[in-house]
Structure 1
Amino acid sequence: MKHVYVVGTADTKGPELAYLADVIANTGVPVILVDVGTRAPTIKVDVTAREVAGYHADGAGAVLSGDDRGVAVAAMSVAFSNFVTSRQDIAGIIGIGGGGGTSIVTAGMRGLPYGLPKIMVSTLASGDVGPYVDISDIIMMPSVTDFAGLNQLSRLILHNSGQAISGMALSAYQSSDERQSVGLTMFGVTTQCVTSMVEHLNSTYDCMVFHATGVGGRTMDKLVDDGVLSGVLDITTTEVCDLLVGGVLPATKARLDAIARTGVPYVGSVGALDMVNFWAPDTVPAAFAGRLFYHHNTNVTLMRTTPEECRLIGTWIGRKLSACSGPVRFFIPERGVSALDIEGGDFFDPEADAALFSAIEDAFEVTADRRIERLPLHINDPAFAKAAVDTFLSII
């Protein structure tokens, strides 16, 4: 039997947890109440904090024996992650918490599969939730009031969140799509290319397009590792620019490692490697004063990469791809890498592009199944999209 797991610190949030569990149980969904507090609970729970703490590699004592709350919260986060990812009976999971509880519960939620319902009712949900959600599909719901006893508003919020998790658990999505899934990366300046690719592929493959904002690339890599994606068309590798130059939408150093680990069929290109991303103009570091900028909107500022930066970026990508043992095809569009990098465009810079292309080729180790090819086309030319798709179909 599947259950909705209701999770929180029963030492400080007991009445709220009990109320939420009752709301869910009254919908007919079985509930398991889990305590992740570090002191004695104030209500009866189904899984005690000591049981959860026992999932820490160093045992429950590493979680519950100290007086330092920060250390205890960090240790309980690890233990809860191990606990919850070991369970096979979760229909959904809902947590409540302030700073400590949110940190503990979302640490476990992030390890659960996409699509498994996850709601975190938190005092922090109206702020920067990036560290708690990361690349998961956690729903953050503001608690509005603090968790300091039940009141008219907190009952309303907990009732709504309980009904939400119950509805998701009772009506679990079942896919009837038998197509293999493939991943594609896209930015606004490569939309024309990637949209064309999807049109070519959609009748045969389930196309998952990821916005190349750092999070998008990491999500795609995780799905490659998880075996969800059967192949990748990584046309927009722009996240590497922000990683190496210092923009606000960076990849991590692990970008492309999943391709190497799995050997998944890979077709890549240099989409949007002409730009580094910043927020509003006044957020651009002083070190970049005097550079060529394009104001995408009031909150996004793009900076053109220089030949020197392009050489650095190209070398990094070439070396990463050379570690891949599966089928790799990498295409270089000689007439521009983005909608801005086109003759007459704001970022048109043949010298910088030449430096990028040469650096990739110099660092790229060609084998029978790892090839690089130049095309006398712009990246958004329909013929470029078709060439990339045709090659992808030949290797997958």
Structure 2
Amino acid sequence: MRGNGYVVGTFDTKGAELGYVAELLRAAGIQVTTVDLSTTDGRQEHPPDVTAREVAAHHPDGADAVFTGDRGSAVTAMAVAFERFLTGRDDVGGVLGLGGSGGTALITPALRALPVGVPKLMVSTVAGGDVSGYVGASDIAMLHSVTDVAGLNRISRQVLGNAAHALAGALAHEIPAAEDRPTVGLTMFGVTTPCVTAVAAAVAEQGYDPLVFHAVGTGGRAMEKLVDDGQIGAVLDITTTEVCDLIAGGVFSAGEERLDAIARAGVPYVGSCGALDMVNFAAPETIPPRYRNRHFYRHNPQVTLMRTTEQECRLIGTFIAGKLNACEGPVRFLLPEGGVSMLDAPGQPFHDPAADEALFATLENEVHQTDRRRLLRVPHNINDPEFAEVVMTAFREVTR
């Protein structure tokens, strides 16, 4: 058994549903801890193991900061208290939360704060839409409640039952131990796949466990969460394309915090300009009007790529330079002069040496180079075998 199953939610409005899933878990042989997150002091028909007052006491300003009488501020404060409560427990095997929009916003910050690998399920009325704001870079499993979480009926019993049994299965079965090898994170896009595939194979041959992340916003955030959690010991950030979407308003931004975990942790880092030639949008009709006359490439029916301009490349270079300058760990950052992606090779749709040079020159002008922080121009396309060899040479330098 991997620990207790925590069943969490607002017992003042969802006590019957929370009690139902708790009993299913107990029937499956799971030790259960029920936690009330109500923001009122009403009487509970289904008394929880941990009261709302006990959780609220974990707020930095005490329980009175939660029970304000104003629902909005109370929910926000309870979310803070619950995160501190949950991350301070030493018996959390997994968590199952139930809620509507308010409950989902209250519960999921605490779930995101748990390490990747701890089972986390959220049954929610909003799980049928865009859940990126709730899931973030974590491994929360969102299950659409179908009906509102407002009573037990023939539909809710099935959905909640599936959720309870899913958590029971996760807690009842141990995950086979992985081979104990040092981990390295790699970032990849379709247009940098040949490089990353070659490098991942090379680091595996040297005894590392390569973790490859798709650089679509959530990928970069997930990699850096694992760096913060101490689960990644070195990074090969071959594909920094998420910065393009941050600068130009594309759909795959990893946010302003991209690269901050690298600086905080001081892990060995090798980066490159992978796919900094493109901004990502969805179908053509979703592209902002201000970009309608730009240079595009239709990657697939749902993804449209826009070539970055010289000005955008300068802004991208400035952003990355600022982040690299904050890194105290060993850093190498590679500039592929033969093109930063498959599409940026000679004869390909995004080949633009002037834009690339604007990017490279900005980085060279603004990165404060030292013995530990160095830029290197490489006279190859990012997907050439020779570039992968340079990546591995740099990796050996920063990890020695």
Taking structure 1 as reference, are residues 320 and 107 closer, same or farther at Cα in structure 2, changes over 3 Å only? closer
Match of residue 359, structure 1, among 353, 357, 362: 362
Report the AA paired with residue 94 of structure 1: L
Q: Which secondary structure does the structure 2 equivalent of 1:146 belong to? A: coil
* Corresponding residue for residue 210 of structure 2: 207
Q: Is 1:383 paired with 2:389?
A: no
1:271 corresponds in structure 2 to 274
Q: Note the alpha carbon deviations across 1:286-318, whole angstroms, 9 max, x for none.
A: 111211011111211111011111112112212
Q: Deviations over 1:217-274 (max 9, x none)?
A: 1221222222211111111111111111221111322222222222211111100000
Equivalent in the alignment of 1:116: 118
CA distance in 2, matches of 1:225, 1:159: 34
Determine the C-alpha separation between the residues in 2 that align with 1:38 and 1:330.
49
Give 1:359 deviation, angstroms: 0.9
For residues 121 and 57 of structure 1, what CA distance do their matches in structure 2 show?
28
Q: Does residue 17 of structure 1 match 2:15?
A: no
Conserved? CA contact 2:116–2:226, under 8 Å? no
Displacement of 1:175 after TM fit? 2.1
Residue 62 (structure 2) pairs with residue 52 (structure 1): no
Q: CA deviation at 1:198?
A: 0.7
TM-score calculated relative to the size of structure 1: 0.97
Q: Is the 8 A contact 1:12 1:42 kept in 2?
A: no
Q: Report the AA paired with residue 58 of structure 2.
A: Y
Q: 1:301 corresponds to which residue? A: 304
Mapping of residues 120-131 of structure 1, within 5 Å: 120-131=122-133
What is the CA distance between 1:28 and its match in structure 2?
0.8
Query: Which residue type is aligned with residue 307 of structure 2?
Result: R
Please give the residue correspondences for 1:31-42 in structure 2 after superposition, counting only pairs within 5 Å: 31-39=32-40, 40=42, 41-42=44-45
Q: Distance in 2 between matches of 1:107 and 1:325?
A: 30
Aligned pair count reads: 395
Residue 64 of structure 1: SS of its match in structure 2? coil
2:225 aligned residue: 222
Cα distance in 1 for partners of 2:240, 2:32 equals: 44
Aligned to 2:247: 244
Distance of 1:363 and 1:74 partners within structure 2:
40
Partner of residue 155 from structure 1, selected from 157, 161, 168: 157
Cα shift at 1:63: 0.9
Partner of 1:140 in structure 2? 142
Structure 1 residues 294 and 180: alpha-carbon distance in aligned structure 2, compared to 1, 3 A threshold:
same
Alignment of 1:56-95 (within 5 A): 56-66=59-69, 68-95=70-97
Counterpart CA distance in 2 for 1:217 and 1:181 is 16
Q: 1:106 and 1:309 mapped to 2: Cα distance?
A: 35
The residue number in structure 2 matching 1:341 is: 344
Q: Secondary structure at the match of 2:126?
A: coil
- Once the two structures are overlaid, the 10-residue window that deviates more, 344-353 or 307-316, is 307-316
8 Å contact from structure 1 (residues 3, 31) kept in 2: yes
Q: Is the 1:315–1:362 contact (alpha carbons within 8 Å) kept by the matching residues of 2? A: no
CA distance in 1, matches of 2:228, 2:48: 36
Paired residue for 2:334, among 302, 322, 331? 331
CA distance in 1, matches of 2:328, 2:81: 36
Task: For 2:45 and 2:103, locate their aligned partners in 1 and report how far apart those are by CA, in whole Å.
Answer: 16
Q: Does the 8 Å CA contact 2:282/2:304 hold for their aligned counterparts? A: yes
Letter in 2 for 1:65: T
Q: How does 1:146-185 map to 2 (within 5 A)?
A: 146-185=148-187
CA shift for structure 1 position 174: 4.1
Of 140-149 and 302-311, deviating more is 140-149
Task: Measure how far apart 1:42 and its partner are.
Answer: 2.4
TM-score for both structures, normalised by structure 2: 0.96
**Is the partner of 1:302 in helix, strand or coil?**
strand
Q: What is aligned with 1:322?
A: 325
* Residue identity matched to 2:260: D
Counterpart of 1:99 in structure 2 is 101
For residues 367 and 148 of structure 1, the distance between their equivalents in structure 2, rounded to whole angstroms, comes to 61
Decide which moves more: 127-136 or 34-43.
Answer: 34-43
Partner residue of 2:314 out of 311, 317, 321: 311
Task: Note if contact 1:32-1:46 (Cα within 8 Å) is conserved in structure 2.
Answer: yes
The AA in structure 2 aligned to 1:390 is T
1:169-204 superposed Cα distances (whole Å, 9 cap, x missing partner):
111324231110001111111011101101111131
Q: SS in structure 2 opposite 1:321? A: helix
Which residue matches 2:8?
7
- SS of alignment partner, residue 129 of structure 2: coil
Matches of 1:306 and 1:127 in 2, distance apart?
34
Question: Aligned letter for 1:211?
Answer: H
Q: Supply the AA of the counterpart residue of 2:362.
A: A
**Any stretches of 5+ residues in structure 2 without a counterpart?**
none
Question: Structure 2: how far apart are the matches of 1:185 and 1:11?
Answer: 45
Unaligned runs of 5+ in 1: none
Moved more, 230-239 or 243-252: 243-252
